[in-house]
Amino acid sequence: MDKIYVNQMEFWGYHGLFPEENKLGQRFYVDLELELDLKPASQSDDMTKSIDYGAIYETTKKIVEGKAYKLVESVAEQISMELFSSFPLLEGCLVKVFKPDPPIPGHYQSVAIEIYRSRSDE
């Protein structure tokens, strides 16, 4: 399956278990790996046979910067559901949500979760 990658999208969201996270907010990064057949688009040079990267960004932004969730797992699930709803050519998606500054002690670059969903899961 062909893929479109959109990496390291940065957003400000209010997701987390702790009241400070919901009040102050924090950075989130999202990586997407989108599966679809790109042959029709590549042969015709027709954007309607692919997925607009800008629309992918805006769809993801709407979720991450919208309603606050306790779990980044829920954020990732909502992103996948909205992508399938918005882009009928999408066959599968890998969604990775990074939380670089969670309020937990220790030294690390970030914590992240990753989910894979396919249209056949619906």
Q: What are the catalytic residues?
A: 99
CA 26 to each of CA 10, 12, 56, 99, 107: distance values in angstroms, whole numbers, following the listed order: 10, 6, 21, 8, 17
* Residue listed under structure tokens 């220790």: 106
- Element containing residue 81 per DSSP (H, E): helix 72-86
Strands 92-99 and 2-13: unpaired
The dihedral built from the CA positions of residue 66, 75, 58 and 112, taken in this order, carries a sign that is positive
Decide if 108 contacts 102 (C-beta within 8 A): no
How is residue 3 written in tokens?
Answer: 């893929």
